[in-house]
Amino acid sequence: MKRITMIVAMKQEAAPLIEQLGLTETSDISPILPCKTFAGQYKNLSINLVINGSDPLLGVENVGTQPATLAAHEALRNFAPDLVINAGTCGAFAEKGSKIGDVYIGERIRFFDRRIPLGGNYEAYGHGNYRCESAIELAEQLGLPTSTVCTGNSLDMSPTDEAILREEEIVNKEMEAAAIAWIASHYKTPLVAIKSVTDLMDSEHSTADEFAANLALASKNLQEEVLRLLDLLALQSDTAAA
Ligand code: ADE
């Protein structure tokens, strides 16, 4: 049976998936850590799902690259999946053709806010550059558009961030994928980043307002497309076993 691990930052993003797949909460990760785990089976796929959990003092969801790195490491070490899916929400540019609720698959994942002009390979190290070959094939089979998924630790963007983001053809700005890609690369495990747009960063509304207004819709669209992805993976796993 193919083992799939899904890593989702916020409980709001994961809720439709957990419900649709009938996953139940497990205690696979040390209770000292904030991550929460869920498990179940879908068709011929064994599914684990990890969310980052919440901050014990502030009560908000843990977001950004630190919790993502931790969740990814715990997930890869505990579940040894054949494939990692990082499902989440993102910002995008209307000028580049994106709309609220659009769902993309990352063909490349990079950091956009790690600038290390120290010479040698530090600049390239800062950017990171994770090409997702298996994701590109899956996107083609699903008829989903592909993007460059750009990771940083701020929901808003500075003018420098914006200039860097605009260099990419199609951009999904989010806060976790490159950290997960870094861990997945150590474990040599393929990664599919699937991202649903909550906010258009070049609209007249604030990113925070658009994010709050569209989180439920984007999470629902994300769930529908993740399910199509799982259907395809189940079919491929059946064919491989035959
Ligand atoms: N998640 C959803 N929208 C985002 C944005 N604009 N920036 C970072 N993460 C996001």
**Domain total in the chain:** 1
In a domain, 66, yes or no: yes
Domain containing 9 equals 2-235
Kindly report, residue by residue over 50-96, the tens digit of the pLDDT: 999 999 999 999 999 999 999 999 999 999 999 999 999 999 999 99
**Ligand 1 geometric centre to CA of 200 (Å):** 9
240 domain-assigned: no
SS3 of the chain: helix, strand, coil, percent, to 5: 40, 30, 30
How many A from CA of 236 to the centre of ligand 1? Answer: 32
**pLDDT for 139-188, tens place per residue?**
999 999 999 999 999 999 999 999 999 999 999 999 999 999 999 999 99
Phi, psi of 16 (to 5 degrees): -60, -35
Query: Does the residue 167 lie in any domain?
Result: yes
Confidence (pLDDT) at 240: 83
Instruction: Identify whether 242 is part of a domain.
Output: no
In a domain, 241, yes or no: no
Whether the CB of 172 sits within 6 Å of ligand 1: no
Local confidence band at 209 (pLDDT 50, 70, 90 cut-offs): very high
Whose structure tokens read 């064994």?
46
- Residue 1 pLDDT: 67
CATH of the domain at 129: 3.40.50.1580
Is there a domain that residue 225 lies in?
yes
